[in-house]
Structure 1
Amino acid sequence: MSCSSSSSGGSDGEDEGIENYRKGGYHAVRVGDQFAGGRYIAQRKLGWGQFSTVWLAFDTHASKYVALKIQKSAAQFAQAALHEIELLTAIANGDPSNSKCVVRLIDSFKHSGPNGQHLCMVLEFMGDSLLQLIKYNRYKGLELNRVREICKCILIGLDYLHRELGLIHTDLKPENILLCSTIDPTKDPIRSGAAPVLERPEVSLNGGSTMSIIEKRLKRRAKRAAAKISGRRSSMGGTNPKSRRNLDGVDVKCKLVDFGNACWADKQFAGEIQTRQYRAPEVILQSGYSFSVDMWSFACTAFELATGDMLFAPKVGQGFSEDEDHLALMMELLGKIPRKIATGGVKSKDFFDRYGDLKRIRRLKFLSLDKLLMDRYKFPESEACEFAEFLSPLFDFAPEKRPTAQQCLQHPWLALRKALLPLPPSETNDKANMENLQAGVSNLQIKRYIKGSKL
């Protein structure tokens, strides 16, 4: 499971810090340590998060690799783990075929250590996060066919959570969506062909042990210092622009993870949800939320996959807050928020006057989504219009008007990928039709083409 996933407890930043290995904190793990009466054996650390560390482990009963998430032992962390286990159990019970694009809980148990009793979750082993995929692709944006494939997986997962279970994820973002396999085959314990560690090595400081944290931190600081020096030198010699990578060998099937902040639609417990850049306007205004907040976050994620940039990245400014800047950015892209919505939240008076105008940010520069895709990201007009036509309804300021995940799965933009694939000779239409499809055609034409070719 990815080291940048919160579900896996991971992070791309600094390490978790040795000071957090104390009473109530993390459990110190060494390669070869056994859990659940010897069933699971720690192999290497995958990542960490605010609440937990995550280890690659070998399941000796099932003879397969799993992700072992070990929660901090303090009461509040144990309570959070119990909540997540409850939701993951419901998710697994409702999906016996494991086909709904949501991470699967395999087991859970308690483990006693020097720092207290830790709740542990055993999850299926996953690959890298979509954030790591975006980084691997040098923030250049994925080809739209890849974006479609990923979007379909996300929507299948959201449709299952929303329609079948009544769950709201509340923190959908690229870090919380994991590929089913690793980008680099050598990091996959199965594809790399490495034999599992079945007992604790005599020398345990092998880079995966908690005990080597300080040494690794010092090495990283030295590397960063060297990088800054070389960076200043290289900047004097001009830039070396990078192109996006070839992802032909990368499987982009993915699953939703991290249910630590998820909630039942009828049992909400947090007012402020969602990571800043993926936060819906109704959450900022505190006007109530439902499944549609996930759809807003999904649209932000889809844009980021296609461009390599976050759609909304607000900042605190002179005389205005990050929240107000966020609302201004939304309005510049999507138009003015209807007055009834702008003034209808608990926090509306912090940002809007009675006419629905922002109090402190008065000059807005409007640019539509399709124009943004064409002007800044150089999308061909047909692709920009099709993609914007798919995303725009998801950015409706009225939450009840946003399409559901089920409705999005029926959208012609997702089916366009099929229409662009070469057909067998017996089913291929004439050359002119194929050229029209490759150039990008209207939704109505796409529907007709798909219906006619029975794809």
Structure 2
Amino acid sequence: MSSSSSSSGSEEEDEGMDSYRKGGYHAVRVGDTFSGGRYIAQRKLGWGQFSTVWLAYDSLTSKYVALKIQKSAPEFAESAIHEIEVVSVLTKNDPDNKKCVIRLLNHFKHTGPNGQHFCMVFEFLGDSILQLIKYNRYKGLPLNRVRAICRCILTTLDYLHTQLGIIHTDLKPENILLVSTINPSNDPNRSKKGPILSKPDGSMNNGGGFVVNAIEKRLKQRARQAVARISARRASLGGFRPVTKGDRCFDGIDFRCKVVDFGNACWANRPNAEEIQTRQYRAPEVILQSGYTYSADMWSFACTAFELATGEMMFAPKPGQSYSEDEDHLALMMEILGKIPRKIAIGGLRSKDYFDRYGDLKRIRRLKHVPLARLLIDKFKFSVNDARDFADFLIPILDFAPEKRPTAEQCLQHPWLNKSSESSVQKLDSEMSKLQIK
């Protein structure tokens, strides 16, 4: 999980049984009901440090919803009240449902053996774009798909920043969900199965349903690992990769998406913490503690866009024997983006931990500078034009000076974002025509 204590559904396999105690999670079984029998639990969708999220059937509206059940300790209840306040504002100010933000449908309290839990009912959405990246085997999505997702995210950020004065503070692929699932059979609205309306046999015995779910999950995990090992072995035979970038079929996948998880969001005039953002998407001003505003979200957006297009995180820092994870993070930034201006390097509350008075890193002296466009061409095999155009879009958003970064509204007007998806086809036709015998 993120160091910013995200309350989003996690990509880890299991939240562990030890947190199902007083003040912790509420143990849910398939068929359990909430809010006077209105919502019926169907299956677990995910979990975070603050909550578990379940697919539920709303018996009043006959629709599927996502039910987020917060841990019961006072600090988690406080966090839930904050999230309800923020998401209520988001939903109220978007009556036409055009701002690409998750909608809060209801909220209530549920009393269980571990205490009283705040529950939030959200619209049911699909897979995260991290799962989309995994689906494509971490190879990066076609650029026209990346543009479509970026437009949705920027629409959200423009709405948050310009209209509402809210900073998300934890933008990352896990917190951006497609409006429907990648695999139609996982979508209760598209699959042929009807809702579960009562508890399956045996699920009432000592939390049996919960334990069965955990065992089933571990068996599935082992099966996936076995498949991955076989695939890796096949790939190594003969020293070639048997799959190509175009192998995954994207037909039928709806690339519209929505930003979720506002548990850590704050109003710009009321910042809620010094350390925000999940590590890999954290802006330099947050690391240096020199103050942050809307532009910190823009940094996270640029990191997310890069990951969509390449399949890899832009910055994945690790601590070394003589330097911290933070210092490695700053070094990785400078290797792609150039030296941090001295004024910015020494201007934060934590600057002295990493920089000397000249603005040089104290413990990492040798940097391998590879400009972004060059990295896209050499490592990720982008064409020269695609690399140049994508870098032109990202570089201004990754300015070390937060006040110089373009706003979400300005990014929505950028030529790269408004390129026709046909341009690459036209370019290919043009190149082919040049090869014709004159």
Q: TM-score surpassing 0.5?
A: yes
Q: 1:211: Cα distance to partner?
A: 3.2
Structure-to-structure mapping, 1:205-244, within 5 angstroms: 209-213=209-213, 215-216=215-216, 219=219, 237=237, 241=241, 242-244=243-245
Q: CA deviation at 1:12?
A: 2.2
1:262 equivalent to 2:262? Answer no
Aligned ranges for residues 28-427 of structure 1 at < 5 Å?
A: 28-204=27-203, 209-213=209-213, 215-216=215-216, 219=219, 237=237, 241=241, 242-244=243-245, 245-417=248-420, 420=423
d(CA) in 1 for partners of 2:318 and 2:360?
19
Return the alpha-carbon distance in structure 2 between the equivalents of residues 208 and 247 of structure 1.
38
CA change 1:228–1:143 in 2 (3 A) is: closer
Q: Is the CA contact 2:144–2:421 (under 8 Å) kept in the aligned structure 1?
A: no
Per the TM alignment, residue 249 of structure 1 is displaced from its structure 2 partner at its CA by 2.0
Kindly provide the CA deviation profile for residues 239-285 of structure 1, in whole angstroms up to 9, marking residues without a partner as x.
Answer: 56233412122111000001111111011120011111111000010
Provide the rounded CA distance (Å) in 2 between the counterparts of 1:127 and 1:252.
Answer: 10
Mean Cα deviation higher: 135-144 or 46-55: 46-55
Q: Which runs of 4+ in 1 moved over 4 A?
A: 6-9, 205-208, 220-240, 434-439
Deviation (angstroms), 1:13: 1.5
- How far off is 1:436 after superposition? 8.4
Q: What amino acid sits opposite 1:46 in the alignment?
A: L
Q: State whether residues 179 and 255 of structure 2, in contact with CA within 8 Å, keep that contact through their aligned partners in structure 1.
A: yes
Query: Could you tell me whether the CA contact under 8 Å between 2:331 and 2:364 is conserved in 1?
Result: yes
Matched residue type, 1:328: A
Aligned to 2:296, what secondary structure does the other structure show?
helix
Distance (Å, rounded) in 1 between the aligned partners of 2:29 and 2:428: 59
- CA distance 1:280–1:202, shift in 2 (3 Å): same
User: What is the rounded CA distance, in whole Å, between the counterparts of 1:219 and 1:331 in structure 2?
Assistant: 43
Report the CA distance shift for 1:435/1:211 in structure 2 as closer, same or farther (over 3 A).
Answer: closer
Cα pair distance change 1:217/1:190, threshold 3 Å: closer
| Corresponding letter in the other structure for 1:394 | I
What residue identity is the alignment partner of 1:243? T
For the 8 Å contact 1:45–1:209, the answer to whether it is kept is no
Is the contact between residue 17 and residue 213 of structure 1 (CA under 8 Å) also seen in structure 2? no
Q: Distance in 1 between matches of 2:305 and 2:70?
A: 31
How big is each residue's C-alpha offset from its partner over 1:50-81, in whole Å with a ceiling of 9 and x where there is no partner?
A: 11111111111211100001111111111111
Q: Which secondary structure does the structure 1 equivalent of 2:42 belong to?
A: strand
State the partner residue of 2:436.
none
CA distance, structure 1, for counterparts of residue 234 and residue 65 of structure 2: 42
Equivalent-residue separation in structure 2 for 1:65 and 1:7 (angstroms)? 24
Q: What letter is aligned with 1:255?
A: K
CA distance in 1, matches of 2:230, 2:306: 33
Preserved CA contact (<8 Å) 2:146 2:305: yes
Instruction: Quickly say closer, same or farther: Cα 1:226–1:156, change in 2 above 3 A.
Output: closer
Q: Which runs of 5+ in 1 are unaligned?
A: 1-5, 423-433, 440-455
CA drift of 1:7 comes to 8.2
CA distance in structure 2 between the partners assigned to 1:273 and 1:366 by the alignment: 27
Shift of 1:199: 2.1
- d(CA) in 2 for partners of 1:326, 1:131: 21
Letter in 2 for 1:177: I
State the distance in 1 between where 2:236 and 2:388 align: 40
Give how far 1:354 is off. Answer: 0.8
CA distance in 2 between partners of 1:231 and 1:124 (Å): 36
Larger mean Cα displacement after TM superposition, 198-207 or 324-333:
198-207
1:213 and 1:183, CA in 2 relative to 1: closer, same or farther beyond 3 A? closer
Preserved contact between residue 23 and residue 115 of structure 1 (Cα < 8 Å): yes
User: CA-atom RMSD, angstroms?
Assistant: 2.6
**1-side partners of 2:226 and 2:356: how far apart?**
51
TM-score between both structures, scaled by the size of structure 1: 0.87
Q: How many residues align?
A: 423
Q: Could you say what secondary structure the match of 2:138 adopts?
A: coil
Shift of the 371–140 alpha-carbon distance from structure 1 to 2, 3 Å rule, reads same
CA 336–343 in structure 1, closer or farther in 2 if over 3 Å, else same: same
Distance 2:144 2:301 in 1: 17
Q: SS state of the match for residue 75, structure 2?
A: helix
Determine the C-alpha separation between the residues in 1 that align with 2:291 and 2:430. Answer: 43
Counterpart CA distance in 2 for 1:194 and 1:417 is 39
Q: For residues 46 and 150 of structure 1, do their structure 2 counterparts lie closer, same or farther at Cα, with a shift above 3 Å needed?
A: same
Q: How many angstroms does 1:391 deviate by?
A: 0.5
SS for the counterpart of 2:84 is: helix
